[in-house]
Amino acid sequence: MSRGLFGTDGVRGRANTHPMTAEMALRLGAAAGRYFRRDGRNRHRVVIGKDTRQSGYMLENALTAGLTSTGMNVLLLGPVPTPAVGFLTRSMRADLGIMISASHNPADDNGIKFFGPDGFKLSDEAEAEIEAIVAGEIEPAQPNNIGRARRVDDGRGRYVEYAKTTFPAGQRLDGLKVVVDCANGAAYRAAPEVLWELGAEVIPLGVDPDGRNINAGVGSTHPEACAAAVLDHGADLGISLDGDADRVAIIDETGRLADGDQIMALLASRWAAQGRLRGGALVATVMSNLGLEHFLSGHALKLERTRVGDRYVVEKMREGGFNLGGEQSGHIVMTDYATTGDGLIAAMQFLAAMSEIGDSASALAAQFDPVPQLLKNVRYAAGADPLSAEAVRAVIAQAEARLAGSGRVLIRKSGTEPLIRVMAEAENEDMLREVVDGIVAAVERAA
């Protein structure tokens, strides 16, 4: 079944521009409601969370109207992290969970992500079926079957209490000074609460959302803000989340950044030593550094690679029975604890290692020496297809031949923005720059 509305992480776009309009959100809500009521036997309940974007109010109301028009009862959580929606969908026995967020994107963007009753993101097939319903006639409920909507005041509190249970019993964070950058996003209250209640001295950053400042100069896409705060306050660790808190970057006490690959390397090796790593493997995407692969091999562990997108990481984990996976960007998926990436719980696992081992963040955050990697993005016009140009394909083939045996090239379209992502890895950094710059130039000419 074809898909045009849904990308790699739900539906996303610029607010008040197709497809992120009130009209489309209403149709999506109605279509999702019709999809989940098709057998007539389910519970007709959906939970909706959102981040702090101003456009979230518009989309929340439109989705609620669409859902209730097809007989769904709506529970509104307000601003909560994306993983809280996955958790609460399952905990509250709902048919469907919806998160309104464009994650790490700027405030003018927004998105709609769907979760099934098991708390996991919907499959490509389910999204395609909902998209087909959107395109057709949507049958409304009879007047006596229209749904209701109400606010859930303790949704954040339920998630906070659950998040604390993932930290080792009997351990506390007393004596640790932690900067937590919430990107003026969905975790601006939950993340500082969890860390403070576990005993840390918390220095909050990015906790003053105004509807327009989400991810603006703060958060995991701007880790320099957290790094500066760590150095200014002499903190032991910095935790930098993105707008919906499903990804994290760790900043050590020297201000150095540890990305998702380094965090996954630490957790994989620790879990394997403790007999907790199922399948003897870590699941990561094609973007993860070759250095991670070499590190895992040295620990007799495998790296299972997937296409880019945390949904595909989770699908591979569920298919193979693995319990740890993620992305270099900082989505860390631990299915023992969560159904999707959870930046806060991943950071707490890092803090647990610090507490148990007694090492500094800098000692734990550099698990391997990464192979030099360079990524550049090229924006292209709507409707264009620069990767199909013969000249571009020829330059890519030349680059692959040049790096054969010593590195690799990865070219892909973004699933959320009109961008071509050009990435390469090679030990020779001069060659690396030449290869990437050559491909970028060819793509720019074609675009």
CB-based contacts of 66: which residues, under 8 Å, 6+ apart?
Answer: 25, 26, 27, 28, 29, 30, 31, 32, 33
What single string gives the DSSP state of each residue in 51-110?
Answer: -S-THHHHHHHHHHHHHHHTT-EEEEEEE--HHHHHHHHHHTT-SEEEEE--TTS-TTEE
Establish how many alpha carbons lie within 13 A of residue 296's alpha carbon, considering only the half-sphere containing its beta carbon: 28
Q: How remote is the C-alpha of 402 from its chain's centroid?
A: 33
User: Amino acid letter at 352?
Assistant: A
Q: Is 269 a catalytic site residue? A: no
Do 232 and 174 touch, CB atoms closer than 8 A?
Answer: no
Token reading at 254: 């020297």
Contact by Cβ (8 Å): 72, 44: yes
Instruction: Tokens for 340, please give them.
Output: 């999707």
Between CA 29 and CA 70 the distance in angstroms is: 9
Q: Of 418, 426, 425, 407, which is closest to residue 443 (Cα–Cα)?
A: 418
Amino acid at 24: M
> In the sheet that 201-205 helps form, which strands lie side by side, from edge to edge?
201-205, 177-181, 237-241, 248-251, 257-258
For 116, which DSSP code? -
> Residues 6 or more apart from 295 whose CB is under 8 A from it?
265, 269, 367, 368
**What CA–CA distance (Å, rounded) separates 315 from 312?**
5
Q: Can you name the residues that pair with 413 across neighbouring β-strands? A: 420
CA distance 335 to 49: 21
- Residues with Cβ within 8 Å of residue 59, at least 6 apart in sequence: 15, 20, 22, 25, 50, 100, 110, 112
Q: Closest by alpha carbon to 287, among 310, 266, 271?
A: 310
By DSSP bridging, strand 281-285 and strand 302-306 are parallel
The one catalytic residue in 101, 103, 220, 288 is 103
Residue 383's CB is within 10 A of a number of other CB atoms, namely 6
Contact of 297 with 306, CB cutoff 8 Å? no
Q: Which residues are catalytic?
A: 103
